[in-house]
Amino acid sequence: MQSLTRFRVLLAGVLAVGLVAGISYGAVSTSTRSTANLLALHGRAPRSLELALSLRTGSALQATGTVSINTQTSALSARLEIPIATAATTIDVRAVKDRLYLTSPNLTDAAGPVWYVEHLTIPALAGLAHYLVRPNPAILSLLAGATSSHQGGSTIYELHRANVPLGRLGLAKGVTLPGVLDVRLSLGRQGEVTELSFSVNSKSQRTSLDLRVLSYNQPALVQAPSASRGLRPAAPLLKELFTSGALGSVVVPASLLHSSISTKVS
């Protein structure tokens, strides 16, 4: 249960900070028309989005990957490169309905991937996707008091806040660390989200997360693996992921940690 909770907190870093709080992320170049077309929403909530993410902790290890989200079916798929010990391990993730599926090229047999499964309930995303179109940073708690500037066709919001309660994954419930929060949000020409990065720092821990919106409204069909592929309990795999490498020392704002833990996990 604890390992699954940790995974859900990481998932919240990708989803809850962005979709539940009303922000999605991505560093984007609008220098070419083709890229701009992939990101233009024209005032409509997206049916899907693809993100590139980078997560770095004080251990100097970095987890990277891409995430495809179908906001209409509240499903997602991801391919992540996660350092375990000193070697990067590829993890394929799918979240469909109330289940989380994981596999890796290392977890295959002659018939193909062997999938691991855990029950997981994430918020419905269809009603939240409208926040991606023209988010109002003034009413988002994560960006309360942010300053704004303009760079080309983008509007940039930046926040530096000290004495923020931070929670480290694996600490007992209610234990927090004082630290510093830095957030940078960029909106495109039509007001849609195009970039967000944030970092949190305490005396002993550091976590930075950057997500780049690669595209909106591209095909994002996410299906559950076949039950014939031996869907095994994922708890041991999750425990291994969160006791070593870049994911073993993740620090997040305590408010996000606590709201994430309230998400139903069966």
Q: Are 76 and 94 in contact (CB under 8 A)?
A: yes
pLDDT range class, residue 49, cuts 50, 70, 90: very high
* Structural domains of the chain, ranges and CATH numbers in brackets: 2-261 (2.50.20)
pLDDT range class, residue 3, cuts 50, 70, 90: very low
Radius of gyration of the chain (CA): 18
Mean pLDDT of the 158-171 span: 81
- Residue with the larger pLDDT of the pair 48 and 194: 48
Structure tokens at 4: 């699954």
pLDDT value, residue 46 = 93
Q: pLDDT for 93-110, tens place per residue?
A: 999 988 889 998 877 777
Q: What length does the chain have?
A: 266
Say if residue 8's pLDDT is above 60.
no
Q: Lowest mean pLDDT: which of 10-19, 159-168, 171-180, 232-241?
A: 10-19
* Nearest to 261, CA basis, from 39, 10, 53: 10
